[in-house]
Structure 1
Amino acid sequence: MFVFLLGTLLFSFLIHGGQTAKCSVKGGDISARWQVSDGELTVEVTTNNIGNNEWSAVGFGPDMSDLSVVVFQVVDFKPSVVTGTTQGYGAPTLDSTPSVTLQSLNYNSNTLVARFARPVGSLSTCQTWNFVTDGAIEDGSIGYHNAAPHSVEICADKCTRKIFN
């Protein structure tokens, strides 16, 4: 009887373990991982092969228009993060101060790693996240991106396992 109960418990654990939440994504030169803790969403985005006067971004929303965006840019070899919103398919309107809390930002050997936090808010339900790379900074402004976005349906609120300190 004990062996049967132990076997049943192990089987149910394996079934449940196979249903883990998707808490990371990789597409081309951009990858991300995230967690939700105490109503706060923390996201770490890594962009490979990002050169000087280039940008990458993550946009939250169903398509490439009307997004809330977090843009990672390298200008004069210095990384920075800006936030904003898009209306239609043009460049974003940038916020006067970022709408996210920057936790870390590193740029080394054409790899940019940024970690930011924001209230989970509207991202508490499953939503499309659009990851964009290969954007140019033109005359100090965010220009068009040359690569198609990597769009993924993300259910961030399912990612409650702590992966960041």
Structure 2
Amino acid sequence: MFSSQILILATIGVVASQTCNFQKSAVKANWKIVNGALQIQYQNNRITNNQWTAIGFGPGMTSLNVIVFMVQNGQITTRTGRTTGYGPPVFDNQNNMNLSMASLSGSTLNALFSVPWNVRICQAMNFVQSGPINNGQMGVHTSRPDQVNNTCASQCR
């Protein structure tokens, strides 16, 4: 009886420790698998005009799949793409995401979207607080991206 109680408690501990959210500075996000896709609710409460914020999927700056939110003239533009190293991403011809909602209220951006996700893999997620947009071009992010390692989204319900 005692060993089965330990096993149950250990299993509960593993499930409870699964990371399904992120919050630091201006950015807050939570995610789960919905209909085989990764659904993310994203908020940045310190975004201003001519700035961008982003989420990258992967361990480093090379070959990250990225979702970028750009705020220009009070409007939100979303783009998906891939990084090739330290520099702006190469954007897809067509966004590889399903945007359900994106809004801007003052300095707060809220978005709900989903992206294709291989539920059998665990990978890092990188959150970029912000970067400038100069003459329509993305500038270098203003702080080091925050990384959540080993995101196993299939365990997030």
Tell whether the structures are fold-level matches, with TM greater than 0.5: yes
Q: Identify unmatched segments of 5+ residues in structure 2.
A: none
Select the structure of larger CA radius of gyration.
1
Matched residue count? 154
1:39-58 superposed matches below 5 A: 39-58=36-55
Does structure 1 residue 16 correspond to structure 2 residue 22? Answer: no
Task: Give the structure 2 partner of residue 81 of structure 1.
Answer: 78
Structure 1 SS opposite 2:14: coil
Q: Distance in 1 between matches of 2:52 and 2:3?
A: 51
Superposition deviation, residue 152 in structure 1: 0.9
Does structure 1 residue 150 correspond to structure 2 residue 128? Answer: no
Task: Give the structure 2 partner of residue 132 of structure 1.
Answer: 128
Contact 1:59 1:70 in 2 (8 A): yes
Superposition deviation, residue 19 in structure 1: 2.4
TM-score (ref. length: structure 2): 0.88
Q: Identify unmatched segments of 5+ residues in structure 1.
A: none
Q: Distance in 1 between matches of 2:154 and 2:120?
A: 5
Task: Give the structure 2 partner of residue 65 of structure 1.
Answer: 62
Superposition deviation, residue 29 in structure 1: 1.3
- 1:11-52 CA-partner distances (Å, limit 9, x unpaired): 765543332221111122112101113311111111111000
Structure 2 SS opposite 1:52: coil
Which of structure 1's runs of 4+ aligned residues deviate more than 6 A? 7-12
Q: Distance in 1 between matches of 2:120 and 2:90?
A: 24
